[in-house]
Structures are given as structure tokens and as C-alpha cells.
Structure 1
Amino acid sequence: MRRFPQQVSMIPMDPAQPPWKRVAAALEQRIADGTYPPGSRLPGAVPLAAEFGVAPSTVAKAVAELKRRGLVTASAGWGTFVSGDQ
């Protein structure tokens, strides 16, 4: 069984929300507060999963939601970037 490191970042612990929504909210907050400014590349799913204490697929689902909302764009082979029109 694969073990993930202890959670480093605090994500809201609202049990009514699934983990991917909590991760999406945390990433959205980082975009809003400038931690990830427009044009910057998001860390990959594996490092974010380790940071949040979730599976990489959970991070992927959270990032897919951010893409759907236009907050980030993905470029195959290059990564996921914060959209410039925040």
C-alpha cells in the first residue's frame, strides 16, 4: 500500500465536501492571493498530492475543475498554468 506523507497544507476540513473540492478551493485561494500568479506553472499532481495528503487522482480532479472554470490552462508536455485573466 502506498503511503503519503503527512499533510503539510491546511485545507478546509468540511466533511460535507469531497476532498477534490477542498483541494480545488485551496488552489483557487492560492491563485487569488498571488501564491500562484497569472502565467505561473502549478506544481504537478504528485507533489500537490503529497502536500495535501490526498491521492494524485484527487488533485487531477481538482485541477480539472479549475480548468473547467477557466482559472488554469493545460499544455500537453508543459504543465498546467494559471490563466492570465484573473
Structure 2
Amino acid sequence: MSVDLDRTRPIWRQIAAVIVARIEDGTYPAGSRVPSVVEISTEFDVAASTAQKVLGYLKREGLVRTEVGLGSFVEPKP
């Protein structure tokens, strides 16, 4: 899936919004793995540090949990 990013706004926020939308629409259901740093970097053609910022944001917002060595997974809605 190709996503056009507006280079005049913070890229990481736009990517985070795309992933949040995918969580909300069920593309990534509760308990499923979300893309890794490498997968986000590749899909959106961004640096790994940008992808890491996206995952950090999703974790801080309580949308995903990270399991070392396994990846990041969508948290169930409360």
C-alpha cells in the first residue's frame, strides 16, 4: 500500500496516524503484530530513527506493547 506523505508536516506523526487508522479499522486487530522498525522504514521510505519514533509514540499512547525479541503488538481496547 502506497501512502503519500506531506513533507511539510512531521513525517513520523503522519505515519503514526496511518498505523492508528489501521488499528482502528481492524487491519491490525487486538493482539496482532504491527510492522517492525525495518518494515515501517521500508514501506514509508523513511529512516529507522523515524520508524522508531512512530513505535515509541504508539507505545506511549497505550496502543501497542513491545515484547523483546518478538515485536510490537496491538493492545486490546479497555
Deviation of 1:12 (Å):
4.4
Which residues of 2 match residues 29-40 of structure 1 at below 5 A? 29-40=21-32
Q: Which of 65, 77, 85 is 2:77 aligned to?
A: 85
More helix by share: 2
When the two structures are superposed, what TM-score results if normalisation uses the length of structure 1? 0.81
Which aligned segments of 4 or more residues in structure 1 are displaced greater than 6 angstroms?
A: none
Aligned to 1:58: 50
2-structure distance, mates of 1:71, 1:59? 15
Aligned to 2:3: 10
Q: Which runs of 5+ in 1 are unaligned?
A: 1-7
State the Cα RMSD in Å.
1.6
Deviation of 1:14 (Å):
6.2
SS in 1 for 2:27: coil
Which amino acid letter does the alignment assign opposite residue 3 of structure 2? M
When the two structures are superposed, what TM-score results if normalisation uses the length of structure 2? 0.89
Identity percentage over the alignment?
44
SS in 2 for 1:73: strand
Aligned to 1:49: 41
1-structure distance, mates of 2:25, 2:5? 16
Aligned length in residues: 78
SS in 1 for 2:65: strand
